[in-house]
Structure 1
Amino acid sequence: MKKITLVLVALISLSTATAQIRVGKAILPYEENFGDTDLKLNGAGMRKVLWIDMYAGGLYLTKKSKDPKEILDADETMAIKLNIVSGFVTQKKMIKAVKDGFNRATFGNTKALDERINKFIKFFSEPIVKNDIFDIVYIKGKGVTAFKNEKELGVIKGRDFKYALFKIWLGDEPASEEIKNGMLGIQ
């Protein structure tokens, strides 16, 4: 009886450890761990342009929230995962989208962040192809660490930078209302 119980516990643990959600053609995990902090998928959505799926985005938090202001203001480890599902997402288009996003997020007042924005944009120096996965992770006390396909690209310090960066997807003028609502779990 004990062996059967142990086998069942092991199988249940294995199935929850690999639990994933499908968002369009993308697959996102339910859980991630960054900076020794366990994060759970708060929600996910798809960025579409003219009915074409561009990328899936997932927001990972320590505890679920539907309040974008609370999330943006929080000084807690959190992450955004972007899973590229279209060849239409290119390096050039990503750089333009990031620049436009920072302009919207800061109401055109990027001066205090310009040096860090330029450093962040350099993270997109290599070609972007379908199935690339970017993790944008804010680690409390460290800053924003960016990853491409699990390879660390660099760290940018400052909670103000995290606020503006996450506001690209969660702000009043997000990259997409659909992806914002998905990340907030209100779709």
Structure 2
Amino acid sequence: MKNLLMLFMAVVVSSTAVAQKKVGGVVLPATQKFQEHTLQLNGAGVREKLWIDLYAAGLYLDQKNKNAQEILNSDKPMAIKLHIVSKLISSDKMVEAVTEGFEKSTNGNTAPIQNEINTILGFFKEDITKNDIFDLVYIPGKGVVAYKNGKEKGVVKGKEFKKALFGIWLSNRPADDGLKDDLLAAN
């Protein structure tokens, strides 16, 4: 009986370890359900600036993939989770960072999607505090659904916009090269 109990405890502990990933001092779930889509964690890492952890990020896909271009060009459900881990992140700093990210991911050609960019930036304009969680979820045929702390903030349509948004982390000029590698870990 004692051996059976020990085996049961080992299974519970190992399945819990697989069910999540700790990164940047926070735990990201191994799977996320958005509407009717269940997505799995492809990779996770931390966005740093000057040795300060800003946010933990997780890339969620319908199936694991290490190819950034395939991910950016695909028309499949996907999500990026941003868990704020620093008190230094403010609304203004987030808007500035996302704006810079769009500039880089589009090689400076934001004009065709500027209205969509303005809409997504609006979702970052209310106060941001440590432990806020943003989920940016692409649903084919619908667009990018933005959530803050589990509450839907709005939808931004367009596959080109989705490509530029996810390009902030996955393009040839990502916000953070190390974070890009971590998001594409697909382990």
Which residue is 1:177 aligned to? Answer: 177
What amino acid does structure 1 have at the position aligned with 2:26? A
Q: Counterpart of 1:139?
A: 139
The two structures have a TM-score, normalised by structure 1, of 0.89
- Cα separation, 1, equivalents of 2:105 and 2:48: 20
Counterpart residue identity of residue 165, structure 1: L
Separation in structure 1 between the aligned mates of residue 35 and residue 130 of structure 2, nearest angstrom:
27
| In structure 1, distance between residues paired with 2:118 and 2:138 | 18
- Which 5+ residue runs of structure 2 have no aligned equivalent? none
SS in 2 for 1:109: coil
1:157-176 → structure 2 map (5 Å cutoff): 157-176=157-176
Tell me what 1:43 maps to: 43
2:99 maps to which residue? 99
Equivalent in the alignment of 2:129: 129
In structure 2, relative to structure 1, the CA distance for the partners of 1:78 and 1:186 (3 Å cut) is: closer
Q: Deviation of residue 186 (structure 1)?
A: 6.9
1:160 and 1:50 map into 2 onto residues whose CA distance is: 31
Deviations 1:46-78 (A, max 9, x none): 111111111011000011011000000010000
Alignment deviations for residues 152-178 of structure 1 (CA, whole Å, 9 cap, x no partner): 010000001000000000001101011
* SS of equivalent to 1:169: helix
The 5 A counterparts of 1:1-187 are 15=15, 19-185=19-185
Query: Is the CA contact (8 Å cut-off) linking 1:75 and 1:159 kept in structure 2?
Result: yes
Contact 2:65/2:186 (8 A) holds in 1 = no
Q: CA RMSD in A?
A: 1.9
Query: Judging changes above 3 Å, is the alpha-carbon distance between structure 1 residues 17 and 153 closer, same or farther for their aligned structure 2 residues?
Result: farther
Count of residues in Structure 1 that have an aligned counterpart in Structure 2: 177
| TM-score, normalised by the number of residues in structure 2 | 0.89
Counterparts of 1:123 and 1:33, CA distance in 2: 21
SS in structure 1 at match of 2:174: coil
Instruction: Tell me how far apart the structure 1 counterparts of residues 186 and 100 of structure 2 sit (CA, whole Å).
Output: 25
Contact in 2 for aligned 1:18/1:29 (Cα 8 Å): no
Relative to 1, partners in 2 of residues 1:48 and 1:17: Cα closer, same or farther, differing over 3 Å?
A: closer
The AA in structure 2 aligned to 1:49 is K
How far apart are 1:131 and its partner, in Å?
0.3
Distance 2:186 2:59 in 1: 12
Distance 1:18 1:81, change over 3 A: same
Work out the CA distance in 2 between the residues paired with 1:113 and 1:101: 13
Query: CA deviation digits over 1:128-167, x for unaligned, max 9?
Result: 1100000000001110000000010100000010000000
Distance 1:77 1:114 in 2: 23
Give, as a single letter, the amino acid of the residue that structure 2 aligns with 1:153. Answer: K
Q: Within 1, Cα distance between the matches of 2:173 and 2:163?
A: 14
Quote how far apart the aligned CAs of 1:17 are.
Answer: 11
Shift of residue 100, structure 1, vs aligned partner: 0.7
Distance 1:181 1:73 in 2: 18
Identity of aligned residues (%): 51
Q: Which amino acid aligns with 2:58?
A: G
